[in-house]
Structures are given as C-alpha cells and as structure tokens.
Amino acid sequence: MADEINVLVTLNAGYLLPLKVMLWSLRTNNPTEKFNIWLVHASMTPAQVAEVQQLTTQFGWQLHNEQVTTAFKDQTPLIERYPQEMYFRLLCGQILPTTVKRVIYLDPDILVINAIRPLWELDLQGKMLAAAAHRGVTKLVDNVNQLRLGTTTSYFNSGVLVIDVAQARDKIKLADITAAIETYSATLILPDQDILNFLYGNDILEIPEEIWNYDTRKYLVYQTRTLTEHDIHWVMAQTVILHYCGTPKPWDAKSDGKFTGLFLNYQQQLNRLVATLAPVAE
C-alpha cells in the first residue's frame, strides 16, 4: 500500500502545543509519508487552527478542519473534569466524511519516533478497532478492570487506536454511549476509556504496547517484564509511539522523567522551524 495515511486528532486548545510537537515528530520520523490530518474539535478558534495549518502546509500534508456542530456537541456526554472532545474519537464515524474508511487516532501527548506505516497497514482481522493494553509486570490491572466493568477482555488504552471507520459508523452509536454513562457513571474512572472497553472491548484487536503505545512512566516495568531486554536502546530502535500518560506532562516545569528530555528536544526543534516561517495571521 502506498496510500496516504489518515491521522485523527480530537482536542481543545489546551493541547495545541503538544499536538504541534506530536505532528513534528511524526513528520521527522516519517519524512516520505503523506498524511491527511483530521482535526476534530468543538471550540478551537480560526487562529488556533491556522497554527496547525501552518505546519501541515509546511510538511506538504492536508489538514481537514472538522468543527463539530453545536447540535452534535450538545448531544455529547459531558462528565465534569473531562472534555467532550474525548468522545469524538469514538464518534468519528458520525463526524468524518463517508469517504474516510480508516484512521489512526493519536492523543496529542505522544511522540512518534519510528515508522508508523506498519500500524496503518495492520490487518484488523475483521475487528473494528486495534489498541494496546497498558499492563504492569502482571495482568493485575486487567483483572481489576474486568471486575469493575464486568468485561472479559484486556483493558485497552484509548490513546492510540486504529479505527475501521466504516464499521464504526454502523456500530458506535451516541445513544449507546449516553446510556452507558447514565447507568454506570458512578463507577467510571476514565470515562471515554471505560466506555471504549465496556461497549466495544470484544471488537478490539490487541497490539503490543511496547511498540505502539509505550507508557513513558513504565520504563522500569517494561525492563523487568523482559528481563532488561527492553532497555533504552531497544526503545529507540523498536518503539514507534511514546505516550506521555498521566501527569506531569513533559512540557510542564515539574516533569523530569526518563523521556522528558526527548520531548523537550522535539519541542525545541519545532520552535526553531516555526521561527523560520511566516507569522500566523490573527
């Protein structure tokens, strides 16, 4: 397959900076690829969208600005402390044009450090989604979440998804999501991720977290689990997606983790690039 890769991002303006760093890392480590970036949001201003457009134009990519309608936004489940945008990834089948058949969804707090095409070309084996499960040294996390949600599958992280959009249009319904939230709101910890697992866990193909959704907080866990095989040299050579889960985020002053410096370096590279471009019109 030599086709262009569709990447879906859903966010509010609070994640504009990390989004731009993520896109720069994607470009740096996939220099020959053409990407269609589907930016789904509810409230970003034209000037903020223009900042993203400045980069995608520089990279030779196509940016699709998909601002959801007020009517659609008003129907989206809202839980205090969590933005509505988190549900747009699940509902992308209702938002994106029918010509879009597959997307890779990426959280903005991510670095892409190797080639992403193998994920794009992944055989979903008939499943609607592909995702990774973040485990510790054992599968205790899976067991706890199975008890909490009454599920039988692994507990999948929603930060990196391959989505068969054609299937999602038929299977993922806003009414089902709303009903699940109303019924189980007291037990939801990470609402969109819990809903993903509760409603659609059986339709998810598991992919290796160490490659496709590496939790940057868990370096020692990965090393322990592989008897030190997955050291930093292995990560830099084999891991494709680093996910800065939890807090503090690498752009925060309090962050001083194993992979903070790598993020800051990409941010610095991006700042140098932007300094050479024409200013974005207000």
The structural domains of the chain, with segments of one domain joined by +, span 5-210
Q: Where are the alpha helices (DSSP H) in the chain?
A: 16-29, 46-59, 70-75, 85-88, 92-95, 117-120, 140-149, 165-171, 174-184, 191-200, 209-212, 219-225, 232-238, 260-275
Tens of pLDDT along the chain (282 residues)? Answer: 459 999 999 999 999 999 999 999 999 999 999 999 999 999 999 999 999 999 999 999 999 999 998 888 888 877 766 778 888 999 999 999 999 999 999 999 999 999 999 999 999 999 999 999 987 644 545 555 555 556 667 889 999 999 999 999 999 999 999 888 888 777 777 778 888 988 999 999 999 999 999 999 999 999 999 999 999 999 999 999 999 999 999 999 999 999 999 999 999 999 999 999 988 876
Joined together, the tokens standing for residue 166 give: 């054609």
Helix axes 16-29, 260-275, angle to 10 degrees: 90
- Taking the domain 5-210, which CATH number applies? 3.90.550.10
Whether the predicted model's global pTM rises above the 0.85 cut = yes
Q: Which pLDDT does position 1 carry in this prediction? A: 41
Q: Which pLDDT does position 279 carry in this prediction? A: 86
Nearest to 105 by CA among 56, 197, 166, 40: 40
Q: Which pLDDT does position 6 carry in this prediction? A: 98
- Residue 151 sits at φ, ψ, to 5 deg, of -105, 170
Concatenating the DSSP letter of every residue in 139-198 gives SHHHHHHHHHHT--S--B-SSEEEEEHHHHHHH--HHHHHHHHHHHGGG-SSHHHHHHHH
